[in-house]
Amino acid sequence: MIKLLWAMDENRLIGAGNKLPWHLKEELAHFKATTLGKTILFGRKTYEGIGKKLPDRKIFLLTHQEDYKIDDVDVEVINNFDNIIEKYSKNPTNEILICGGKKVYEDFLPYADMLIISEIKGHYVGDTYFPGFDITAFQQISEVVKPGFIIKEYIRKEEN
């Protein structure tokens, strides 16, 4: 199962210089609670922008740089997008959370089984926006209102 997880403001802004444009403790706690003990995937720039280790998660770092190395046993550098799709797409027993950045979201959106979106209230300054997509391909299954943001979850509608 491929799940996309992201936070965006009212203008679909997701980043500012490979970092989050806002600092909402409760939204960061939501990210942590959603990803702890899970397998997650970042693009290289997004992972480097985090700037710290994320414990208790198996992390795939997707990059086109075939010689890219990282000194962390919990992080596996991968260069092959197709292997991730093959292993996780439409497979409810294998779950991966796709956590950015923009290009990674664009690549994985057609394969997403589920979306977990934190809609941040307000308009922030940044340089990276979530790519456009057809939300009507998904059905909303939950909504949780938090101070400063709303968490919405969607599943892909069954194809006829």
Average pLDDT over residues 109-138: 97
According to the model, what pLDDT value does residue 79 have? 94
Average pLDDT over residues 26-33: 97
Kind and range of the H or E element at 50? helix 44-50
The residue extents of the domains of the chain are 2-156
In order of 17, 53, 56, 94, the CA distances from 49 in angstroms are: 8, 11, 19, 27
According to the model, what pLDDT value does residue 90 have? 78
2-156 is classed CATH 3.40.430.10: yes
pLDDT tens digits along 48-103: 999 888 999 999 999 999 999 998 888 999 999 999 999 998 788 899 999 999 99
According to the model, what pLDDT value does residue 137 have? 96
pLDDT tops 60 at residue 160 = no
In order of 38, 47, 95, 127, 144, the CA distances from 18 in angstroms are: 23, 9, 25, 9, 27
According to the model, what pLDDT value does residue 56 have? 95
Question: Residue 81: how many CB atoms within 10 A of its CB?
Answer: 15
Of 145, 141, 138, the C-alpha closest to 153 is 141
